[in-house]
Structure 1
Amino acid sequence: MGDVDLDAYVGAHQGEWRELEQLVSRSSLSAAESDRLLDLYQRVGTHLSVLRSSAPDPALVVSLSSLLARARRRTAGTRTSSLADIGRFFVETLPAALYRLRWWWLTSMVVNLAVAFGFGLWFYRNPEIEASMATPAQIAQLVEVDFERYYSEYAASHFAAQVWTNNAWIAAICIGAGVLGVPVVLVLFQNMLNLGLMGSIMLHHDRGHVFFGLLLPHGMLELTAIFVAGGAGLRLFWSWVAPGSRTRVSSMAREGRTTAVIALGLVVVLLISGVIEGFVTPSPLPTWARIAIGLVAWAGFMVYALVLGARAAARGADGDLDAQDRGEDLVAVG
């Protein structure tokens, strides 16, 4: 969103701010007034989000934050979760969060794929490394039997659940350890190292078609989810290294909330990739059909994050929780 004319914006909305102030100050409210309080609560929360991102006047932000914190206490117990809240999360909050952090996870994606490719090329050009890791019989067992059997050894539903749990755990490490920075890099590095090694072994033994035919259907979405988790974790790390105009506590709190939003969204994304890996990857469908299904799922996520995310951001969403959910959030003044 572009810069906001602060005077014009204040003039347009200060009547609602005053009305909310009056309702918060009253000792008791009628049913109609309570409904109006909730409505203003959400409106002023949106106003605060716009002012933070487009016209961050510290005194005004502090004043509105304080007003919303008081209103939140008045509305405690009256606000309940609803389908509308869930819908707003998936239509506004989550895509806006993914969009705001897009350069972090897109960079993570490009860098990690380059690392995997680099390792794969290095291993491929140095077959003695492969020979030092296993016997020819063990390698033959891996490329001829074990790699393909991995995807069909268990019942599809059980395998999908297992894969979902494993990938969710990797994403959780990237996000949970993000504040430290280094663990995220190590987790991603290890995954790309393994990917490059396995790819080189399969290609070296003329099984590249099996490798890509089984990896791509689920791997495009699965790896993207891991890259998003890594990017979000590193952004959380950077929030205290370079907090900008905010205090370190405020900066970390904001990015922590956005990271939590993304973590919840990735649960769904990884569930979808797990279902694809459990039911599509080992299916008897032609390779092109399986890859096409994976490509559609991956493209759907990219459109969701970048196109719907841009539209949500244009409407003022920034991927943070609603003001009433996060409470008072002050910025550094001066």
Structure 2
Amino acid sequence: MDIDAFVATHQYSWARLGDLTERARKLKQMSPHELDELVGLYQRTGSHLAHARVAYGGDEAIVGRLTFLVAEAHGILYAQRETDVRRAVTRFLVVTFPAATWSIRRFILVSALLTLVPWLVFQVWIGVSPDAFDLTGDEAVTQAYIDNDFESYYSSQPAQNFASQVFLNNVRVAVLAFAAGILLCVFTVFILAYNGANVGVAGGLFTHVGEWERFWGLILPHGLLEISAVIVAGAAGLRLGWSVIAPGDMTRWDAVTAQGRAVGNVVIGLVIAFAVAGLIEGFVTGRPWPTSLRVGIGVIAFVAFWGWTLVYGKRAAAVLDAEMR
């Protein structure tokens, strides 16, 4: 095909590509049909440009024209994609996640009790009972744990490696607590109670020997946020399990599917909380800084998390309700 025939055959599609590109630039937003058409013409004109460079490379006018059209459309399409991604991420952070968390607030209360009650029971029991203290293990091992092992754990690796390890472990626990809810909540209840009891045992050991301040100084900087996030993940699992126990007017499969999509957003959002908790545990908890500073950082993270998930979550839920009306 000679160059005149090539131009005559494709000039309409090139002109249409130019029109759609200009329209997208002015309106900033296009209908799905127009966007599909723009993508198709962009891809087709890109192949025309490749052909023109090989067959008509000496004709700078046609190659230049097609290069300009493809470059302009490329800029519009990728800018649109980046805008859509930013918009989706922003909406998830300010509406979807906090609203989903607010929707399971009653299950968060249950999850908190399942975690904190065993913690309190074991910490008080071991803290005040010599017999309970002796039952925790060999005296030499227990003393080494109190004197050195518990604290040295937080500085046992380079901070970035330790933070990554903690983050991955916390995400694993959260996903397990969530997924286990499908089994009628039983395993989620066990995971929450077990985690709470473990922390309670550690706290009880330190309390028994009069070093409770050192325990809280090491556990609170990262633990306030970390344990909060685990509690919320457990609440998501409990909500999922409750949809099996009491599906309402829906079939159990439909109820689980619907709740899985809804509370699954909670678990996805918690990844951010676990990342922050991991950074605090890796870069703050084990540092030789004043206890007030380390705990203060933990308190700030704690307040920000609950403000985001519950205080702001109530407002986000209202936004979603208004949109659905």
Structure of higher RCO (CA pairs closer than 8 Å, 6+ residues apart) = 1
Aligned: 1:246 with 2:250: yes
Specify the alignment match of 2:216 in structure 1: 212
Specify the alignment match of 2:121 in structure 1: 118
Cα offset, 1:317, TM superposition = 5.3
TM-score, L = length of structure 2: 0.72
Specify the alignment match of 2:162 in structure 1: 159
Cα offset, 1:186, TM superposition = 1.2
Specify the alignment match of 1:277 in structure 2: 281
Cα offset, 1:107, TM superposition = 2.6
Specify the alignment match of 2:305 in structure 1: 301
Cα offset, 1:36, TM superposition = 4.1
Question: Deviations for 1:206-263, whole angstroms, at most 9, x for unmatched residues?
Answer: 2111100000010010001110011100100001211123332222111101222111
Aligned: 1:287 with 2:286: no
Cα offset, 1:297, TM superposition = 0.4
- Is the contact between residue 92 and residue 317 of structure 1 (CA under 8 Å) also seen in structure 2? no
Specify the alignment match of 2:176 in structure 1: 173
Most deviating of 184-193 and 264-273: 184-193
Of 82, 85, 88, which residue of structure 2 is paired with 1:82?
Answer: 85
Specify the alignment match of 2:260 in structure 1: 256
Cα offset, 1:128, TM superposition = 1.8
Question: Deviations for 1:152-191, whole angstroms, at most 9, x for unmatched residues?
Answer: 1111111111111111111111011111111111111211
Specify the alignment match of 2:103 in structure 1: 100
Cα offset, 1:141, TM superposition = 0.8
Specify the alignment match of 2:13 in structure 1: none
Specify the alignment match of 2:191 in structure 1: 187
Specify the alignment match of 1:130 in structure 2: 133
Kindly indicate which of the two structures has a greater share of residues assigned to helix: 2
Cα distance between partner residues in 1 of 2:264 and 2:129: 42
Unaligned ranges ≥5, structure 2? 1-18, 24-28, 34-79
Specify the alignment match of 1:52 in structure 2: none
Local SS of the residue matching 1:150: helix
Cα distance between partner residues in 1 of 2:231 and 2:210: 29
Local SS of the residue matching 2:210: coil
CA RMSD of aligned residues (A): 2.4
- Is the contact between residue 174 and residue 233 of structure 2 (CA under 8 Å) also seen in structure 1? yes
Local SS of the residue matching 1:151: helix
Unaligned ranges ≥5, structure 1? 1-29, 39-78, 323-334
Question: Deviations for 1:19-66, whole angstroms, at most 9, x for unmatched residues?
Answer: xxxxxxxxxxx979x94468xxxxxxxxxxxxxxxxxxxxxxxxxxxx
- Is the contact between residue 93 and residue 317 of structure 1 (CA under 8 Å) also seen in structure 2? no
Local SS of the residue matching 1:225: helix
Taking a change above 3 Å as real, the CA distance of residues 247 and 135 of structure 1, as seen in their structure-2 partners, is closer
Specify the alignment match of 2:59 in structure 1: none
Aligned: 1:147 with 2:150: yes
Cα distance between partner residues in 2 of 1:223 and 1:192: 9
Higher Cα Rg: structure 1 or 2? 2
Amino acid at match of 1:254: A
Question: Deviations for 1:58-105, whole angstroms, at most 9, x for unmatched residues?
Answer: xxxxxxxxxxxxxxxxxxxxx965111111111111111011111111
Cα distance between partner residues in 1 of 2:118 and 2:136: 21
- Is the contact between residue 119 and residue 199 of structure 2 (CA under 8 Å) also seen in structure 1? yes
- Is the contact between residue 99 and residue 316 of structure 2 (CA under 8 Å) also seen in structure 1? yes
Cα distance between partner residues in 1 of 2:230 and 2:321: 24
Cα distance between partner residues in 2 of 1:133 and 1:231: 30
- Is the contact between residue 117 and residue 196 of structure 1 (CA under 8 Å) also seen in structure 2? yes
| Number of residue pairs matched by the alignment | 250
Cα distance between partner residues in 2 of 1:310 and 1:191: 28
Runs of 4+ residues deviating >3 angstroms: 34-38
Amino acid at match of 1:117: L
Cα distance between partner residues in 2 of 1:276 and 1:249: 40
Taking a change above 3 Å as real, the CA distance of residues 317 and 304 of structure 1, as seen in their structure-2 partners, is farther
